[in-house]
Amino acid sequence: MQVKESALSACASAGSVRELEDVRVRFLGKKGELTLILRGMGQLSPEERPAIGKLVNEVRGQVEAALAARTESLAQAETEARLKAETLDLSLPGRRPGRGTKHPLNIIFEDLQRIFVGMGFQVVEGPEIETDYYNFEALNVPPDHPARDMQDTFYITEEFLLRSQTSPVQIRVMERQEPPVRIIAPGKVYRRDADATHSPMFHQVEGLVVDKGITFGDLKGTLMELARSLYGDREVRFRPSFFPFTEPSAEMDISCIVCEGAGCRVCKGTGWLEVLGSGMVHPRVLEMAGYDPNQVTGFAFGIGLERLAMTRYGIEDIRLLFENDLRFLRQF
Ligand code: DAH
């Protein structure tokens, strides 16, 4: 039978599962060649019909079997080819994820935290939105003090403001805790100031120690130990100063890390770099926070993190610390 030959050879030469489907339609479909022959059976004489019918059905069975076998082997070949084409080269090194570096301010803060925690200080935090009371009044800052001006402090309402210093955390700690107190309070502070050495947002680390019999000697010993841990055997000096919440007050300087005291651009010719403000906690401040200044005394200090970072790394513009320029940040 000629149809059988051509169906089987079409089947054998089909190169894909899709071509095979065309072969199936061509021979076995509704208008397929074999189908039409079966349909034409009616025109045969009754004697011929059984033999021809049997033959056509046999051929159909053979063609179906050939299609099925060929489909399977083609499908298998296609899968194999696809698997080969999609092989993963497991020896190819992966792309390394970008590794960040520590921000210089975090490096400095972690140093400070390690030093103070080593001396038994606790780390506490306070709110960045403060009240006028905690930020100024309870710290003995008089109503006409220039820091209270609209020009210097970001006010939210008359009562609420963005804290201009971390010192209010001193008050919050003393209000909720009996002495002894030994804390540092790191965080963001805000001032209306913006140029190469001032940023409207910057960071401070506040310190407070209150107990029976705390003296200026404790202040000096603690802060000199801090200077030694941070800067090694550099020279340190305490310079009289003024803060409303401490009496007496002192600022601590170290000999300039660039010129070693000779005088240069970084230390503005003085040979010294200012590291922090400090002092003995003012009796009025202790009193307002609920402590008895006849029973306990204390010292406090405030460190500007940006200034520390700028002097340590020789950064001349404070804005570099906040611009997130990777060329800058990758250097630390
Ligand atoms: N709060 C001061 C400032 O922002 C820094 C300071 C000075 C904090 C002396 C203190 C201190 O606790 O005793 O300039």
Is 140's C-beta closer than 6 angstroms to any atom of ligand 1? no
pLDDT confidence of residue 305? 97
Give, as one character, the DSSP assignment of residue 99: P
* 279 touches ligand 1 (CB under 6 Å): yes
pLDDT tens per residue, range 148-177? 887 799 999 999 999 999 999 999 999 999
Average of per-residue pLDDT values in the chain: 91
Using one digit for the tens of pLDDT, what is the confidence trace for 115-126? 999 999 999 999
Mutation pick for ligand 1 pocket among 140, 165, 219, 286 (CB with most ligand atoms within 8 Å): 165
Long-range pairs for 40-47: beta carbons < 8 A, 24 or more residues apart: none
At residue 327, the pLDDT reads 94
Quick one: pLDDT at residue 207? 98
| Position with higher pLDDT, 14 vs 275 | 275
DSSP secondary structure letters along 180-219: PEEEEEEEEEE-S--BTTB-SEEEEEEEEEEETT--HHHH
pLDDT in tens, 27-63: 888 888 888 887 788 788 888 888 888 888 888 888 8
Ligand 1 centroid–CA 247 distance in Å is: 12
Cβ-contact 34, 3 below 8 angstroms: yes
Tell me the pLDDT tens digit for each residue of 235-293: 999 999 999 999 999 999 999 888 888 998 888 899 999 999 999 999 999 999 999 99
Question: At residue 289, what is the residue type?
Answer: A
- For residue 37, the CA-to-ligand 1 centroid distance in Å is 105
What is the percentage of the chain residues whose pLDDT exceeds 90? Answer: 60
Q: What is the pLDDT of residues 304-316, one digit of tens each?
A: 999 999 988 989 8
Q: 3-class SS at 226?
A: helix
CA 40 vs CA 34, 35, 43, 44, 56: distances in Å: 10, 9, 6, 8, 11
Is the model's pLDDT at 139 over the cut of 90?
Answer: yes
pTM of full prediction above 0.85: no
Confidence of residue 137 (pLDDT cuts 50, 70, 90): very high
301 lines ligand 1 (CB under 6 A): yes
Query: How far does residue 81's CA lie from ligand 1's centre (Å)?
Result: 74
Expressed in percent and rounded to 5, the helix, strand and coil fractions of the chain are 45, 20, 35
Q: What count of Cα atoms within 13 Å lies in the side-chain half-sphere of residue 208? A: 30
